[in-house]
Amino acid sequence: MLTKNKFWPKRVPRTITPSQTPLWDNLAISAKRYPDKAAVVFFGSVLTYAQLLQKAEHLAAYLYRLGVKKGDRVVLNMQNCPQLIVAHWAILRANAVVVPVNPMNRAEELKHYITDPDAKVAITTGDLAAELALANDALEPSLRLNHLIVTQFTDAFDANVNGEDALPVAWHDWLLTRHTLPIMQGAVVHNWVDALACQDVPPLLTVKPADLAILPYTSGTTGLPKGCMHTQASIMHNAVSSNLWLGGSSEGVTLAVVPMFHITGMVSVMHASIYSGATLVLMPRWDRELAGRLISRYQVTHWTNIPTMVIDLMGSPNFEQYDLTSLINIGGGGAAMPQAVAQRLFEQFGLRYVEGYGLTETAAPSHTNPPDAPKQQCLGIPVIGTDSRVIDPETLAEMPQGEQGEIIMNGPQIFSGYWKRADATKAVFIEIDGKSFFRSGDLGHIDEDGYFFITDRLKRMINASGFKVWPAEVEALMFRHPAIQEACIISTQDAYRGESVKAVVVLRTTHKQTTEQDIIDWCRDNMAVYKMPRTVQFVDALPKSGSGKVMWRTLQDAEKV
């Protein structure tokens, strides 16, 4: 059943009528309505909606010339930049399927993203092209790409930009270098500028709501990454519902810093903004000073982020110089927002940090907090059209309110299954009350108000002398310590207890004198003794994925060596 939560935003419908138009029409309609409005801003250079539409149509025609047909998968491997948006929509306009790839992947990993989706065309930036070439050349000839389109970052902005839009000095070599196009075995390498000069007519737009649109891959915590099949309809649903939930409009200005190869940045940021005709202010990577300047200069209204970004920005010595008063919505996911930081945001700016939750399989949000009544360190409530429950992971029986179980969900945004993996698909879907539910693999509970809270991943649990310790809970508690900037909880072997709790900690620069014993003593005073870390390791930084999530498994695997 759909949620009847008493905190449901009164202005938001509980369900929406499914759109029968393809995703491409969202850009086409916004361009028709607002042709001269800024669609994308990148280091001071502006791409209007009319220009974005034209570039996407030209590239779509070029893809068609290269042999891309309806349903073909095209690899898109880029950091945030205008070319990523142009290429993404061009692939959709060519009736093809976008395969977004994390630009941090190296050649050995990239081979899977070429062979698994049977891709024959890829689009990338000059700094990544050589790695794609290495991957491609290592494959059997029949598995290789046929074409690679390469753009340079400076194809999209003025290299001499200065002032508030200026590049961080550390990015100069990366963004300003014009890389030589690689030579690839069995593949033709094309220059982006030449591709956009194509004057051919794009193919007839023939995709329907049920057709495959996006094939993002899971993080691959077990085995090779799996492609999640998302249709035009599943992506459209969350593009529309994200706008309704967060009050998106054509007057919105979105800071796009979460990576758009990732499902959250792709759907909740890019697709949602294009649908409403908003302006996207792009950042290719996180830099707190640049973020502060851009929010101030462009009067950003919406900022989806990772909580660590907010923590970092607020820790800047220049923070008081930045104007955050234009923000009307700030929120994100991937990690819990520390209560102290959320409270400071509210007290200083009147902003309530809206946490949400979703997976690649759910096209980003399946749950999010009501903007007017958010709870901290909480997933929120099921979003528009979504039925979510908590079940016993073994018996599949629904758990009573307040009791822990596995979170499952049914809704229009749920993926169709894993690409070429019928076995894996079957394993994550169950039928309850005649409906198909996706098993998230995340453990949580529902409180008395109908809000969902996550406890942890189903398999991420520490058993200390029979006591079950859930790392996410311990991490949330440790964030209250004034010296702790970030913390990740893992298990360590203990001859007596079987497993013990270990904390890997990043200290704030103002508290470098803090000792391991200081942390342990504080934990003993602030949490049940069985939960407290028995050992503490200080590090300069925690390993993070391209989307900003802490890679706890990397730390856990290192502990086992």
| Percent of residues, the chain, with pLDDT higher than 90 | 80
Identify each DSSP E strand in 223-269 by its residue range. 230-231, 253-256
- Return the minimum-mean-pLDDT range out of 141-145, 152-156, 241-245, 330-334: 330-334
Q: How many CB atoms lie within 10 A of CB 381?
A: 25
Count structural domains, the chain.
3
Let me know whether 59 and 199 are in one domain.
Answer: yes
Tell whether 138 is covered by a domain: yes
Local confidence band at 222 (pLDDT 50, 70, 90 cut-offs): very low
Residues 161 and 198 in one domain: yes
Q: Domain check: are 199 and 63 in the same one?
A: yes
Half-sphere exposure of 555 (CA within 13 A, CB side): 26
Does any domain span residue 294?
no
Q: Are residues 64 and 184 in the same domain?
A: yes
Pair (471, 527) in one structural domain: yes
What token pair was written down for 224? 């090779």
Find, among 331, 359, 148, the residue nearest to 246 by Cα: 331
Which candidate, 485, 486, 483, 470, places its Cα nearest to that of 527? Answer: 470
- 410 and 535 in a single domain? The answer is no
- Within this chain, do residues 440 and 542 fall inside the same structural domain, yes or no? no
Residue 522 lies in a domain: yes
Q: How confident is the model at residue 1 (pLDDT cuts 50, 70, 90)?
A: low
Residue 561 has pLDDT above 90, yes or no: no
SS3 (DSSP) at 279: strand
Across 260-264, 286-290, 346-350, 493-497, least confident range = 493-497
Report the pLDDT value the prediction gives residue 337, as an integer from 0 to 100.
Answer: 82
For 105, the token pair is 């992947």
- In terms of Cα–Cα distance, which of 251, 232, 197 is closest to 54? 197
Of 456, 477, 508, which one is at a domain's C-terminal end? 456
pLDDT band at 335 (very low <50, low <70, confident <90, very high): low
Residue with tokens 């950091």: 79
Average pLDDT over the chain reads: 93
Instruction: From 456, 475, 508, give the residue that closes a domain.
Output: 456
Q: Mark whether 383 and 452 lie in a shared domain.
A: yes
Q: Which CATH number fits the domain that encloses residue 389?
A: 2.30.38.10
Sort 253 into a burial class: Cβ within 10 Å, 0-12 / 13-18 / 19+: buried
In this prediction, residue 185 has a pLDDT band, given cuts at 50, 70 and 90, of very high
For residue 264, the 8-state DSSP code is: I
Segment 377-386 mean pLDDT: 95
What radius of gyration, in Å, describes the C-alpha atoms of the chain? 23
Q: What is the pLDDT at residue 462?
A: 81
- Say how far apart CA 289 and CA 236 lie, in whole Å: 34
What is the Cα–Cα distance from 461 to 468, expressed in whole angstroms? 7
Instruction: Please give the pLDDT value at position 269.
Output: 97
pLDDT at 3: 58
Question: pLDDT at position 341, please?
Answer: 87
Tell me the CATH number at 110.
3.40.50.980
Q: What is the pLDDT of residues 408-437, one digit of tens each?
A: 999 999 999 999 999 999 999 999 999 999
Whether 444 is in a domain gets the answer: yes
The verdict on 424 and 484 lying in the same domain is no
| Predicted pLDDT of residue 223 | 57
Choosing from 157, 187, 207, the residue where a domain stops is 207
Sheet holding 147-151, edge to edge: 188-191, 147-151, 121-125, 73-77, 97-101, 212-214, 230-231
CA 234/CA 232 separation, integer angstroms:
6
**In a domain? residue 4:** no
pLDDT of residue 473 exceeding 80: no
More confident call, 547 vs 478: 478
pLDDT in tens, 244-273: 999 999 999 999 999 999 999 999 999 999
Here the tokens at position 379 are 């997933």
**Is residue 539 in a domain?**
yes
Three-state secondary-structure class, residue 547:
coil
Classify residue 535 by burial, with Cβ atoms within 10 Å: 0-12, 13-18, 19+: middle
Q: Which of 108-122, 467-481, 537-551 has the highest mean pLDDT?
A: 108-122
Q: Three-class SS string for 295-341?
A: HHHHCCCEEEECHHHHHHHHCCCCHHHCCCCCCCEEEECCCCCCHHH
Indicate if 60 and 193 belong to the same structural domain: yes
110 part of a folded domain: yes
Helices 49-65 and 24-33: crossing angle in degrees, nearest 10, is 140
**Residue whose token pair is 């069995």:** 186
pLDDT confidence of residue 458: 67
CB 226 within 8 A of CB 217: yes
How sure is the predictor about 221, in pLDDT bands with cuts at 50, 70 and 90? very low
Quick check: 229 pLDDT over 90? yes
Are 69 and 203 part of one and the same domain?
Answer: yes
Which structural domain, as residue segments, surrounds residue 101?
49-207
β-partners of residue 435 are: 432
Of 116, 85, 101, nearest in space to 23 by CA: 85
CATH of the domain at 479: 3.30.300.30
Same domain, 477 and 452: no
Residue 2 has pLDDT above 80, yes or no: no
Q: Is residue 219 part of a domain?
A: no
